[in-house]
Amino acid sequence: MKKFFVPILSVLGLVAVGLIFFSLNFTVEKEQHLDGEMEKQYFFGKLVAERSYRNGQLNGLTKIYYGDGKIKSEWTFREGSREGLAKQYSPDGNLKFEDEYSAGKRVNRKEFDTGGNMISQTAAK
């Protein structure tokens, strides 16, 4: 029984140290803007996300970045719901998906190959 108990404590200790390390290196900055509030999130000093808010809800463009600073995805929100185009990019910067949203529901998806050519398009059912 003791042999099993010691590894569990070791793993739990490592997880706790990891969570503390992560929380110390994750920062959020909020700036007041005329059209709402902009939130920028950083991890180890690198920008990982930008979000716009209005009246406490996501509103406007949201961007998520890869660790090297390249754009990973971008969505547009209106009053907390996805609206309009949402794009997802591969780590090398190529567009992978382009989704269209209306009232928070996906109505269309386009998928692209590594050369930027559309390879499929599906409408939501």
pLDDT per residue as tens digits for the range 56-94: 788 889 999 998 889 999 999 998 899 999 999 999 999
The reported pLDDT for the residue numbered 15 is: 54
- Work out the mean pLDDT of the chain and round it to a whole number: 78
Q: In the chain, where are the structural domains located?
A: 28-123
Q: In terms of DSSP H, where are the helices of 1-125?
A: 2-24
Would you place residue 55 in the very low, low, confident or very high pLDDT band (cuts 50, 70, 90)?
A: confident
CA 125, CA 106: separation in Å to the nearest integer? 9
Question: What CATH class is the domain 28-123?
Answer: alpha beta
CB atoms within 10 A of CB 101: 20
Q: Which residues contact 75 (CB under 8 A, 6 or more apart)?
A: 61, 62, 82, 86, 87, 101
Nearest residue to 38 (alpha-carbon basis) of 26, 48, 29, 25: 29
pLDDT score of 29? 53
What are the C-alpha distances in Å from 46 to residues 18, 67, 68, 74?
19, 7, 8, 17
Confidence category of residue 33, pLDDT binned at 50, 70, 90 = very low
